[in-house]
Amino acid sequence: MKKKGNIMVNKELLDILACPQCKGGIKMVAEGLVCEACRLVYPIEDNIPVMLVEEARPVESMAEEE
Ligand SMILES: [Zn+2]
């Protein structure tokens, strides 16, 4: 069973992940993983964080949705 929005990225993985652009730390939110320094959101697909700058969306676009 798959629940929408149920992101299963564990904390240890989160600790080793870093923003590919600034190499800074990232934070998990409902939409994905956020780099607050770059204001980018990296998506999570099938529980795998997509740490690619070209796949990231600006944080601003989240607030504008709906
Ligand atoms: Zn960054």
Token pair 């564990």 in the structure block, residue? 10
Spacing, Cα 52 to ligand 1 middle (Å): 11
pLDDT score at 64: 52
Q: Candidates 3.40.1190.20, 3.30.70.1350, 3.40.50.300, 2.20.25.10; correct CATH number of 2-65?
A: 2.20.25.10
The reported pLDDT for the residue numbered 31 is 87
Q: What is the pLDDT of residue 25?
A: 93
Q: What is the arithmetic mean of pLDDT over 19-25?
A: 96
- Compute the distance from residue 1 Cα to the ligand 1 centre, in Å: 33
- The share of the chain scoring above pLDDT 90, in percent, equals 52
What are the two backbone dihedrals, phi and then psi, of residue 11, each rounded to the nearest 5 degrees? -65, -35
Centroid of ligand 1 to alpha carbon of 46 (angstroms): 22
The pLDDT of residue 61: 61
Task: Please report which confidence band the pLDDT of residue 10 belongs to, taking 50, 70 and 90 as the band edges.
Answer: confident
Give the domain ranges of the chain: 2-65
CA distance 32 to 38: 14
